[in-house]
Amino acid sequence: MKSKASAPGKVILFGEHFVVYGIKAILCSINKRVTVTAEKTNGKKISINSKIGKLVLEPNKSISEINSPLKPFYYLANKAIKNEDTGIHIEIDSEIPLGAGLGSSSACCVAGSAAIFKLFRDISKEEILEHAIEAEKTIFKNTSGADCTVCTYGGIMEYDKNNGFKKIEDKPNFQLVIVNSNIEHSTQSMVSKVKEFENKNKEKFSNLSDLESQLVKDVLKLVKENKTKEIGEKMNKNQEYLEILGISNNELTKMIRIGQSSSFGAKITGSGGGGCIFVLTNESNSKNILKKFKDNNYECFSTKIDFKGLNTF
């Protein structure tokens, strides 16, 4: 028997990094997915196969000894197997660009958690999410949980790490264009960089957190009123705060200025240092924005909000 699940990638619209410190963020999931297929096998091995590589190991290995980006899948399979006399084979198929701040690892953890545990028993979305966050912690121990949460439930949501998520029911009519810097980055090291900033600049960080918190409150009102232009202005403000934290660089700033000059707003999404930016636009202008970035040799695509979240089949 095979068990299959898919989960969407995500964009952090507002509040990345600050969310790690308990400030509310606004996120949405996007229409690019990871699909994970799991099946029981004879012989006690956990084998994982994806475009980025393979991992084949006996169960019950210590996670700290495993040096592979596929270890969240091993963690999940090992937990699900417990003492049962079986192996598991896992196949991963992804349309989300890797390591680009679009939630590919969170979507993997969520779809992996669902596909693997469903081989053994029925499991609720809440429990799938819990295991997914544990699995993500094997590669990024300080995760706020925001990414896995939006990949599980889909749509647009507000999220804070102490109170969880609340779906935003209004369906805004803006469009997003995502542009990839193709600069690799590590979420773990960018989060450590912000921690260093916070340690050295306590008062400045606290002031910025207050500003971000107010900005998110304002945006929640603007989303209800469908005021795209004003939401774009808040994005540009949020980008300024991220630049103060030191997570932008020359290339990202160049991309953002291109986006800001021809749309409502543009900012980094995710941990920064590389990865993607996104541009807020509307249907009539999105082709123009795509052309502008393509003319400058950037990889870009327009995306829609996914309202489905985790899907099992």
Residue 142 C-beta: closest distance to ligand MEV, Å: 7
- Map residue 21 onto helix, strand or coil: helix
Residue 189 C-beta: closest distance to ligand MEV, Å: 11
Question: Which of 4, 5, 13, 16 is close enough to bind ligand MEV by CB under 6 A?
Answer: 16
Question: Which of 181, 271, 281, 303 is close enough to bind ligand MEV by CB under 6 A?
Answer: 271
Catalytic center residues: 147
Residue 16 C-beta: closest distance to ligand MEV, Å: 4
Q: Does 270 bind ligand MEV (CB under 6 A)?
A: yes
Residue 6 C-beta: closest distance to ligand MEV, Å: 19
* Only segment of 13-21, 43-51, 57-65, 250-258 that touches ligand MEV (CB under 6 A): 13-21
Q: Does 147 bind ligand MEV (CB under 6 A)?
A: yes
Residue with tokens 């590590």: 186
Alpha-carbon distances of 311 from 9, 37, 89, 105, 111, rounded to whole Å: 13, 12, 20, 16, 8
Q: Which is nearer to ligand MEV, 77 or 276 (CB)?
A: 276
Q: Does 187 bind ligand MEV (CB under 6 A)?
A: yes
d(CA 162, CA 145): 10
The full DSSP string for 239-308 is: HHHHHHHT---HHHHHHHHHHHHTSSEEEE-SS-SSSEEEEEE-HHHHHHHHHHHHHTT-EEEEE-B-S-
Instruction: Quote the tokens at residue 103.
Output: 């939630």
The CB-nearest residue to ligand MEV is 144
Q: Does 191 bind ligand MEV (CB under 6 A)?
A: yes
Using alpha carbons only, what angle is made at residue 153 by residues 149 and 156, rounded to the nearest 5 degrees?
90
* Only segment of 14-22, 169-177, 249-257, 282-290 that touches ligand MEV (CB under 6 A): 14-22
- Convert 149-187 to b/e letters by CB count within 10 Å (16 or more is b): bbbbbbbbbbbbbeeebeebeeebebbbbbbbbeeebbb
Q: Do residues 46 and 74 lie in contact, with contact meaning Cβ atoms separated by under 8 Å?
A: yes
d(CA 263, CA 260): 5
Q: Does 20 bind ligand MEV (CB under 6 A)?
A: yes
Question: Which of 28, 100, 110, 146 is close enough to bind ligand MEV by CB under 6 A?
Answer: 146
d(CA 148, CA 105): 9
Q: Does 198 bind ligand MEV (CB under 6 A)?
A: no
Question: Which of 5, 7, 19, 111 is close enough to bind ligand MEV by CB under 6 A?
Answer: 19
Q: Does 239 bind ligand MEV (CB under 6 A)?
A: no
Which neighbouring-strand residues pair with 35? 6, 93
What is the contact surface with ligand MEV in residues (CB under 6 A)? 12, 16-17, 19-20, 101, 143-144, 146-147, 187, 191, 270-271
